[in-house]
Amino acid sequence: MALRDQLRVMVVDDMSTSRGLITQALDTMGIRQVSYASDGPGALEALGNAPVHLVLSDYNMPGMDGLHLLHALRSDARTKGVGFILITGRADRDIIENGRRLGMNNFIKKPFAPQELKACIEAVVGRL
């Protein structure tokens, strides 16, 4: 069985259009086990009930941004080992350095092509 058939991914983004584009790209890659959350607190609650291998999270979200979500994931024994990719329109050095310090596995800058997202994911989980 290929890795893409087993991989469980959660997409966290407050914009439904962005969630849809990411989900479409994942579907094109053959990744079918995808869950969604529209904000950080919702993601944490969902992950408590249904763990995943990889979280793809937007940076800019109201209430709890992507780095706060990453910190919460790394602070919880149940989720500290989950792969984490930050998706951002502002790949500022401070954001990326903070993400790396918090345990971010990779990041991708918006806008991105599906093949760029695939390469970003494969750098974290291995060949799909």
pTM of the model: 0.96
Structure tokens given for 93: 């050095």
User: How many Cβ atoms sit within 10 Å of the Cβ of residue 118?
Assistant: 19
Would you write out the chain's pLDDT as a tens digit for each of its 128 residues?
789 999 999 999 999 999 999 999 999 999 999 999 999 999 999 999 999 999 999 999 999 999 999 999 999 999 999 999 999 998 799 999 999 999 999 999 999 999 999 999 999 999 99
Per-domain residue ranges for the chain?
3-123
Instruction: Report residue 25 as tokens.
Output: 């790209």
Question: Strands, DSSP E only, in the chain?
Answer: 8-12, 33-37, 54-58, 83-88, 106-109
Determine how β-strand 106-109 pairs with β-strand 8-12. Answer: unpaired
Return the CATH class of domain 3-123: alpha beta
